[in-house]
Amino acid sequence: TVAGADHIVVLDDGHVAQQGAPAELMEQGGLYRRMVELQSESARWRLSGKE
């Protein structure tokens, strides 16, 4: 997974927004952290339908 990478480069609109180790990027906040948070939130999403 990306979390196991040694170095990550985060692109935003074709430009380097952040780069570093996953833990460093989480500490910095920014785009990488936001993407991780959104992915974590989406893991809890459930579709409900009529039964």
- Dihedral angle, C-alpha 5, 28, 39, 8, nearest 10 °: -20
Which pLDDT tens digit goes with each residue over 2-34? 878 999 999 999 999 999 999 999 999 999 999
* Domains of the chain, residue spans: 2-42
Q: Judge if pTM exceeds 0.85.
A: no
What is the model's pLDDT at position 51? 61
Q: For residue 34, what are the contacts with CB-CB under 8 A and spacing of at least 6? A: none
3-state secondary structure of 50: coil
Average of pLDDT values for 43-51? 75
Q: Which two tokens stand for residue 32?
A: 């990488």
